[in-house]
Amino acid sequence: MSEYILELKGITKIFPGVKALNQVNFNLAKGEIHALMGENGAGKSTFIKVITGVHAPDEGEMYFEGEKVTFKNTRESQKLGIAAIYQHVTNYPDLSVTENIFIGHEKVSPRTKRILWNDMHKKAKELLDSIGANIDPKVQMGTLSVAEQQIVEIAKALSMDAKVIIMDEPTAALTKTESEQLYKIAEQLRDSGVSIILISHRFEDMYRLATRVTVFRDAQYIGCWGVNEISNEKLIFAMVGREMTQLFPPRQGKIGKEVLKVEGLSQTGYFADVSFSVRQGEILALTGLVGAGRTEVCESIFGITKPDKGKIYFEGKEIKINEPLEAMNMGIGYLPEDRQKQGLILQWGIGKNITLSTLSQISKAGWLNEKKEAEVAKTLAEKVTVKATSIFDTADSLSGGNQQKVVVAKLLASELKVIILDEPTKGVDVGAKYAIYEIMRELAKQDYAIIMVSSEMPEVLGMSDRIAVMRDGRITATLEADGISQEKILEFAMLEKE
Amino acid sequence: METKRIVSNKKEFNLKKFFFQWEWMLVAVFIIINIINTNLSPYYLSFGGIMDATMTFLDKAFMVLPMVLIIILGDIDISIASTTALSSVIMAVAYNMGLPMPLAVLLALTVGAVCGMTNGILIVKFKELPAMIVTLSTMIIYRGIAYIILEDQAAGKFPSWYSYLGWGYVGKIPFMLIAFILIAVLFGLLLHKTTFGRSVYGMGNNITACRYSGIKTDHIKVAVFTLMGIMASVTALFLTSRTGSTRPNVAIGYEMDVIAMVVLGGISTLGGRGKMLGAVISVFIIGLLRYGLGLINVPAQALMIIIGIILIVAVTIPNINLNGFKKKRLAA
Amino acid sequence: MRNISKFREAGLLVFIVILCIFLQLKNPSFLTLENINDLLTNTAILSILAVGMMMVLLTAGIDLSIGSTLALSGMTAALVVSNNPDISPIAAILIGIAVGTVCGLVVGFLVSIVGIFPIIASLGMMNVYRGLTFMSSGGKWVSAHQMPESFKKIATSSILGINTLIFIAIVIYIIFYYFINYTRTGRQIYAVGSNINSAKISGINTKKTLLLVYTLMGSLAGLAGVLWVSKFASAQGDTATGYELNVIAACVLGGVSVAGGYGKVSGLLVGALLLGILNNALPLINVSPFWQSAIQGAIILVAILMNAYIKRRATKENLMRRKI
């Protein structure tokens, strides 16, 4: 009998063209909370999917309670008592909490197959009480907060007698008090003998809960340490440790006068008291963890949503923006975070996508001038070096990088002074990344003021002139980029301020 | 940025793509129907006969045109027949109360516009409610108002010139047909050649991306629904002219006919796809089919079955095609 | 505010009570046994159909064909009894249900197996069934004198002192209340409508569920068809044209979400009842019958808008509870 409840050895998973996991090891003791850390794309998500049976590994072995196991699907792993709670909860918002907990394994009377609601409600209440959650099992799931929904998911795992619970970024969308409640639950579970794999970007999660931490980097296993044995610096180095392989084009031009300033911007439930400014020719990085409220801030500047409080100044004058079009007419452009859902019409050709935001320029009194459109589209597509044969190629036929270039080209079609780029290189291959960086530099040289939202530390350090760090909806620091270290930024983004 | 990539902006003519268009299939169906009709009845292929026949089905066709826009948006409007009834009733009552007919016609159009705009505003202000439900309730309300105004009475006795709308000819061609073709061309241009139409297509494919691109999506949606309302009253004008009087229960069930014609015209209820031409052809397919079968004494009810089946086959065929194509591509 | 559904149902109930008090004050004959019986009899068919429609709407679908299905089943049953006057009324009902079931099965097949959008599939079949109704009777009516007394009695007789229509509606409600709330299959309907992807992952056979709800809808429409024809003692080609929209309205009024996943039998009952009261009571208080439709529509609109507004408030309150 092994001392570990779960043990994985030499796991390799290959997707077409990429090794998502390369010979990684992991083990989990009974009643242990084990943190799994690593940058975005380090292979954590794939690893979970291997454990839960979504993906079958190409190499390697998995042992559960000392026995070798292979899972064909998630049901098989569930049967043994492995449950995963994902960041984006996948539940039934219209159904009651009880039902969300018991769906698929409802309690029915043995003879008539009648669903025993009272038993289920009672059991659900017990489960929720047992983890100290004060949630009425009869209310609709959708009326609960994200934190409460996560707690229900935990109760669901317990209802299936889970022995191993995987929590994927459980606190990412939670506020401080909500996180605190979750910590208490996790501790309680640990004390009752449940083992937990905790995936988190937050150091405080790890310090608070875990006894050991395993680090992945670039699909590789880097190491496993006791939480008390390893220092902050060493851990961060383990996570990002590679040499800066990406090169960034050099800074050019100089920084001019202030163009956009926000003061005390707040939106209930999303962000509070956000202030920063950006100048001509400057690249301001807005960084922090996913869910820190960066996108929400940008969207409220661009007029997608409205801030509840605060002021926005453009070239010294206070402005109110109700519609994206007003922002664009003023000279503020926004490259949205999700290019497939917010940036592009995938079924359309590149050309039509590029001109979508500037239809008034290629038309006269509402009549489209398709000849002019083709010219404009061609010029812009070539300017951002889209790899395509014609402007009639549909957007969904392009790679991620080229899609992003098309969205950038669409931005450039308008006359702008401020460009907000939300995760401009997310899901973009290295070559296209460099091209996007070059475009950004070129724009800065042409006196555009640029706000870049990014979670990628090398990019933040390599591209920006100043860095604003957000955490839980507030700006925790605004730093000059010169001479700042990655570790310092991560501290502001992840660590609780004293 | 040194290596300049060339991106072509010349549209290449793709013969295969050109011929594999839904509209061609509709044209083929149209021709087949005419051949069958000609063979079935020697009276079918008389110019005058066909011209007269168009006048019997074109009234609701005016609503097909804006419905194309609405379905391309991915929405639906089932209140249109009630709007038709309401504007018809208000026009008739206003005229009978002494309003000059031209003003009564104008009033009818205004009523349609108000009904449509109300739908549009409700839909953009309550985005969580499907258009189907919003227009279901306004459908009941609009016709309800028509009942309040006219109860179970009929109103009419219009001036003689008004009957020209539904019965008149320009040369040998019915005025109604000319009006329809003209308005259809206008709608075709609006949809295919203007920034407005481009935005409508964009919104049908991805309304979020359009909003992030600075398109005033709410304004456009309200405009499209208003246009729908106006065209519902245009239908009222022609319908009332043909019947000579009106009742609150006119045009019942028109919304389903109109939606069926639009879908048959190749406009996907998913939104974002389809052409004005397809819907116009399908108006004539269904209309002439009805006329032809009527000549050989096939009851109108049999036609309902045929239309129902055509509708289902029509929406199924593109799916099958697409799957076959995908399989081929995978195999290659 | 956290329990929206309770709030809504309670709200509707309070509204109904106030309405009843008001009606009673205006016309004391409103709350008489006779009138209540009348009211319920008239609401019975609508409420039977609403149960089926609710299940369809729960899966985020819609069935526009039920008016035609109702007419076809009613016509078939009427033709059978007019040609075989000795046939038992039970057999007539079974024939109607059988025809309806087949109709529903076809729509279900088109939606779940072929994958056509519910609105299109049911719109197409609506035409087909309506055409078949006309064709089967040769465009003629089957009128009262062609129907045997035993058949017409279905609607006028009573069981245990309750009018048969009401009795059948009550039985249907009990059966489906149990089915929807206390069987796994019933709960799967909700799961499919609430989150079809999760449902698939949880191992629910979503295609089977879809097929089932449309078939059940058809069966209930078939039953309703026979009851309708018996009640009005006439079967016509255009019976119940457009009635599907009334049924959907009753569901919406009863709080069923057309986006799928949400709706309760109790809410449905309240919704159907409210529509029934409006239909029945307006003439009693000398409101012109021509006002009915507009008043009904306005109430439905206000109900769905209120609903949306309450949901928004709940979301907003959830956000307020997040401290930043």
Other Cβ atoms closer than 10 A to A132: 11
Q: For residues A170 and A158, give the distance between their C-alpha atoms in angstroms, rounded to a whole number.
A: 16
**Chain C contact set for A99 (CB, 8 A):** 187, 190
3-state secondary structure of A281: coil
A61 backbone dihedrals φ, ψ, rounded to 5° = -130, 150
With CB atoms and an 8 Å threshold, state whether B211 touches A324. yes
Q: What is the DSSP secondary-structure string of C32-96?
A: SHHHHHHHHHHHHHHHHHHHHHHHHHHTT-----HHHHHHHHHHHHHHHHHH-TTS-HHHHHHHH
pLDDT at C70 (0 to 100): 95
**Chain C contact set for A103 (CB, 8 A):** 187, 191, 202
CA quadruple A15, A16, A18, A22: dihedral sign: positive
Domain A258-494 in the same topology as domain A4-240:
yes
Tell me if chain A has a CB within 8 Å of the CB of B217: no
Instruction: Give the distance from residue B199's alpha carbon to the nearest chain C alpha carbon, in angstroms.
Output: 25
Regions in chain B scoring below 50 on pLDDT: 1-3, 321-332
How far from chain centre, in Å, is Cα C113?
A: 25
Architecture of domain A4-240: 3-Layer(aba) Sandwich (3.40)
3-state secondary structure of A459: helix
What's the whole-number mean pLDDT along residues C62-89?
91
Instruction: Give C2's pLDDT tier (boundaries 50, 70, 90).
Output: very low
Tell me if chain C has a CB within 8 Å of the CB of A192: no
Mean pLDDT, chain C, whole residue set: 87
3-state secondary structure of A488: helix
pLDDT at A143 (0 to 100): 78
State the count of interchain CB pairs (< 8 A) between B and C.
143
Query: Closest-CA residue in chain C for B153?
Result: C290
Separation of first and last alpha carbons in chain B = 36
A15 backbone dihedrals φ, ψ, rounded to 5° = -100, 160
CA atoms lying within 13 Å on the CB side of residue A322: 3
Asked whether the beta carbons of B237 and B288 are under 8 A apart, the reply is no
Percent of chain A with pLDDT over 90: 37
Q: For residues B190 and B185, give the distance between their C-alpha atoms in angstroms, rounded to a whole number.
A: 8
Instruction: Give C323's pLDDT tier (boundaries 50, 70, 90).
Output: low
β-bridge pairing A363-364 and A367-368: antiparallel
Mean pLDDT, chain A, whole residue set: 86
Instruction: Give the distance from residue A470's alpha carbon to the nearest chain B alpha carbon, in angstroms.
Output: 23
- Residues from C contacting A (CB-CB < 8 Å) are 2-5, 178, 181-184, 187, 190-191, 193-195, 197-198, 201-204, 257, 260-262, 314, 316, 318-324
Q: Does domain B51-313 have CATH number 1.10.10?
A: no
Q: For residues A262 and A112, give the distance between their C-alpha atoms in angstroms, rounded to a whole number.
A: 64
**What pTM did the predictor assign?**
0.84
3-state secondary structure of A193: coil
What's the whole-number mean pLDDT along residues A72-82?
83
Chains that touch C (3 or more CB pairs under 8 A): A, B
Name the residue with higher pLDDT: C202 or A309.
A309
Instruction: Give C5's pLDDT tier (boundaries 50, 70, 90).
Output: low
pLDDT at A308 (0 to 100): 92
A369 backbone dihedrals φ, ψ, rounded to 5° = -110, 95
pLDDT at C309 (0 to 100): 84
Q: For residues B101 and B158, give the distance between their C-alpha atoms in angstroms, rounded to a whole number.
A: 8
Which candidate in A332, A359, A373 is best for mutational testing of the B interface (most B CBs within 10 A)? A359
Q: For residues A322 and A408, give the distance between their C-alpha atoms in angstroms, rounded to a whole number.
A: 23
Q: Which residues contact B326 (CB under 8 A, 6 or more apart)?
A: none
A374 token code pair:
């083709």
Q: Is the pLDDT of residue C105 over 70?
A: yes
Segments making up each domain of chain B, as ranges:
51-313
With CB atoms and an 8 Å threshold, state whether C127 touches B305. yes
Q: How does pLDDT run across A104-144, given as a tens digit for each residue? A: 788 888 888 888 888 999 999 988 888 878 888 888 888 78
Cross-strand bridge partners of residue A62 = A8
Q: Which of A309-318, B124-133, C293-302 has the highest mean pLDDT?
A: A309-318
Instruction: Give the distance from residue C182's alpha carbon to the nearest chain A alpha carbon, in angstroms.
Output: 5
Q: How does pLDDT run across C232-274, given as a tens digit for each residue? A: 888 888 888 878 888 988 898 888 888 888 888 988 988 888 8
Least confident of A78-82, B326-330, C225-229, C286-290: B326-330
pLDDT at A497 (0 to 100): 53
With CB atoms and an 8 Å threshold, state whether A140 touches C183. no
Which candidate in B2, B3, B4, B9 is best for mutational testing of the A interface (most A CBs within 10 A)? B9
Q: How does pLDDT run across A187-235, given as a tens digit for each residue? A: 988 998 899 999 887 777 888 889 999 998 888 898 898 988 888 778 8
CA quadruple A122, A124, A127, A129: dihedral sign: negative
Facing C132 at nearest CB: one of B140, B259, B305: B305
Q: Which of A86-100, C134-148, C206-220, C266-280 has the highest mean pLDDT?
A: C206-220
Task: Just give the CATH number of A258-494.
Answer: 3.40.50.300
What's the whole-number mean pLDDT along residues A269-297?
90
Asked whether the beta carbons of A255 and A282 are under 8 A apart, the reply is yes
Tell me if chain B has a CB within 8 Å of the CB of A350: yes
Q: Which residue has the tokens 């985020």?
A: C60
With CB atoms and an 8 Å threshold, state whether B301 touches C237. yes
C-alpha distance from residue C315 to each of B31, C209, C278, C309 (Å): 56, 31, 33, 10
Long-range contacts of A117-124 (CB under 8 A, 24+ apart): A117/C181, A117/C182, A123/A159, A124/A97, A124/A98, A124/A155, A124/A159
Q: Which of A280-294, B111-125, B307-321, C19-33 has the highest mean pLDDT?
A: B111-125
Which candidate in A300, A345, A348 is best for mutational testing of the B interface (most B CBs within 10 A)? A345
3-state secondary structure of C250: helix
Asked whether the beta carbons of C34 and C42 are under 8 A apart, the reply is no
Q: How does pLDDT run across A320-346, given as a tens digit for each residue? A: 999 999 999 999 999 998 888 899 999
pLDDT at C1 (0 to 100): 39
A433 backbone dihedrals φ, ψ, rounded to 5° = -55, -50
Tell me if chain C has a CB within 8 Å of the CB of B304: yes
Q: Which residue has the tokens 């017990």?
A: A126
Query: Closest-CA residue in chain C for A103?
Result: C202
3-state secondary structure of A475: strand
pLDDT at A93 (0 to 100): 83
Q: For residues C131 and C238, give the distance between their C-alpha atoms in angstroms, rounded to a whole number.
A: 10
A157 backbone dihedrals φ, ψ, rounded to 5° = -60, -40
DSSP H or E stretch at residue A334: strand A332-335
| Domains within chain C, CATH numbers bracketed | 4-17+41-314 (1.10.3470)
Segments making up each domain of chain A, as ranges:
4-240, 258-494
With CB atoms and an 8 Å threshold, state whether C288 touches B148. yes
